[in-house]
Amino acid sequence: MPALSHPLLRLALLSAFIGAAAAQGVWAPQTTVSAGLRDDLYGISFPDAKHGWAVGVNHGNDTGVILSTADGGTTWTRSTLDSVRAFTAVRFTSPDTGWLLGSARYPAVNGMFKTVDGGSHWVPQDAKLIGAYEYFLDADHGWIGGYRTTNGGATWDPLGIGPDAPALSVSFINPDTGWTLGGATGIRKSVDGGAHWTPQVSGTTNPMSSIFFADGKRGWATGYSSNTSPVGLLLATTDGGTTWTPRDIGSIVGTLYCVSFPGKDTGWAMGRFGYILYSVDGGTTWTVQDRVTDKGLRSFVFVDAKTAWAAGDAGTILKYGGDATTGLRVQSMRGKSGQPIRKAVYHLSSASRVQARILDARGKVVSILFDGIQSAGDHELGLPQSIRSGKGFLDFKIDGVQKALAD
């Protein structure tokens, strides 16, 4: 990287870069009743900003786990269902109506459960439903494993892909048109609600983990690209799945578990070891965020463009929101002996990881001012003389997202 000789030019160029990065909000770890327990969470659903559910398994006693909140994640309640050893997915279409996909303790087959009272009571549906994933387009139309329903789960009909090749992931854009992937079947498309399926050529023989379509043409699928040395894989299509092309995501270690686009241009993908990727150009290019956890992230859901939740291994729950810092500024003053003093002053709305470094004109780290967790409230960091003299600049990150620059 060539040196930027003029401080104002350096400031302008770096500010442009930071503005693009800061457009992404913050994924912040949350404290729940799963903290310290052997819970792995496989699914999460928020039908509105207040009501949410996350489900999985407790490996300590081999029982299914249900976490629920009615206050936007401020508090969580932990529960389970008798004779269910694991839950693999959850989907609520309203604060009252939702479905759980579970696995009965004996025999070890999956089963579906439905609630119409916000989870106070769960009614078993077809116990022979198989698959690790459920997808409900609305309160009536749903797909799971090798089955589909058009009446909210009252009855389930077999999909036309065969019972020995259950779908691991399903994405429908309307009641008729959808895609599925799983096992040896690869990616398939249906235009009749899942009664019949047409195979598509993905270009990979490795198992894929999730699929998502934003419309009839644009879709993405995730998995990993090598059985000997697993590296994350993200495929994209712009022609409804006729052709699939790998996207450059760098050397992401391990499987990418899930992908979704909450907006036309903005998309996210998550995976093993806490990797989070985002795109702001419709999935053409992807950026890896600094990790806020090293635990696998199995599922995420956007409530709206500014609020989202993710769930994963070891009871991990992340919340995505706006900028976690406010009022970030550089403050100048004089010390007792008259020497100039400069400080970075800022306020954190929630406990966050703060990283503050001094970089030289070539982007090389000169010193680390702070790297750790800070509590909510007002904070300040002393800045070295190099900031005042224009020989360095402040590289400041909140929860892995670059937030400010002072020259």
Which tens digit of pLDDT belongs to each residue from 159-212? 777 555 566 788 999 999 999 887 555 898 999 998 888 889 888 877 788 899
Residue 9 has pLDDT above 50, yes or no: no
**DSSP SS3 for 12:** helix
Q: Across all residues in the chain, what is the average pLDDT? A: 78
Number of folded domains that form the chain: 2
Q: Are residues 176 and 267 in the same domain?
A: yes
What mean pLDDT do residues 338-348 have? Answer: 75
- Contact status, residue 241 vs residue 201, Cβ threshold 8 Å: no
pLDDT digits (tens, 9 = 90+) for 265-292: 889 999 999 999 988 888 888 988 878 8
Q: Are residues 98 and 13 in the same domain?
A: no
Confidence (pTM): 0.71
Determine, yes or no, domain membership for 217: yes
Determine, yes or no, domain membership for 266: yes
Q: Are residues 270 and 176 in the same domain?
A: yes
Reported in sequence order, the residue ranges of 93-164 that DSSP labels E, i.e. its strands, are 98-104, 110-115, 123-124, 134-136, 142-144, 147-149, 157-158
Q: What percent of the chain has pLDDT over 90?
A: 26
Residue 48 has pLDDT above 70, yes or no: yes
Element (H, E) at 285: none
Q: Are residues 386 and 271 in the same domain?
A: no
Q: Are residues 171 and 309 in the same domain?
A: yes
Q: What is the pLDDT of residue 54?
A: 95
Backbone angles phi, psi at 267, to 5 degrees: -135, 160
Q: What is the pLDDT of residue 309?
A: 95
Q: Are residues 155 and 62 in the same domain?
A: yes
**Look-up: residue for tokens 């306020």?**
347
Q: Which residues 6+ apart lie within 8 Å of 152 measured at CB?
A: 97, 114, 139, 140, 142
Q: Are residues 13 and 56 in the same domain?
A: no
Q: Place 69 in a pLDDT band, splitting at 50, 70 and 90.
A: very high
Full domain range(s) for residue 358:
7-20+324-404
What mean pLDDT do residues 210-238 have? Answer: 86
Determine, yes or no, domain membership for 1: no
What mean pLDDT do residues 331-348 have? Answer: 70
